[in-house]
Amino acid sequence: MPNTSDEQQATRYELFDTHAHLAFEPLINDIDTVLQRSIAAGVTHWITVGTNIEESRKSVALAEKYDNLYAAIGVHPHDAKDVTEENINELEELARNKKVVAIGETGLDFHYNFSPPQIQKEVFKKHLALAAGLNLPVIIHSREAFDETMQTMEQQDGCGKIVFHCFTGSADQAKMILDKGFYISLTGAVTFKNADEIRQAAKIIPADRLMLETDCPYMSPEPVRKQKTNEPALMLHTAKFLADLRGVTLENLAKSTTASAREFFSITA
Please give the pLDDT value at position 200.
98
11 falls in which pLDDT band (50, 70, 90)?
A: low
Residue 8 has pLDDT above 60, yes or no: no
Largest CA distance in the chain: 51
- Rounded Cα distance between 242 and 221, Å, is 11
Report CA 206 to chain centroid distance, whole Å. Answer: 17
- Rounded Cα distance between 204 and 165, Å, is 16
Instruction: Kindly report the number of other CB atoms within 10 A of residue 249's CB atom.
Output: 12
Does this model's pTM top 0.85?
A: yes
Instruction: Kindly report the number of other CB atoms within 10 A of residue 180's CB atom.
Output: 13
Please give the pLDDT value at position 158.
67
34-72 CB burial, b ≥16 within 10 A, e <16 = bbebbebbbbbbbbbbbbbbebbbbbbebbeeeebbbbb
* Interval 5-13 mean pLDDT: 53
Please give the pLDDT value at position 100.
98
Q: Are 56 and 91 in contact (CB under 8 A)?
A: yes
Residue 15: exposure state from Cβ atoms within 10 A (0-12, 13-18, ≥19): buried
Residue 36 has pLDDT above 60, yes or no: yes
Residue 3 has pLDDT above 70, yes or no: no
The domains found in the chain, sorted by start residue, are 5-244 (3.20.20.140)
- Rounded Cα distance between 213 and 47, Å, is 9
In the chain, the percentage of residues whose pLDDT exceeds 70 is: 96
pLDDT in tens, 161-207: 999 999 999 999 999 999 999 999 999 999 999 999 999 999 999 99
- Rounded Cα distance between 230 and 122, Å, is 32
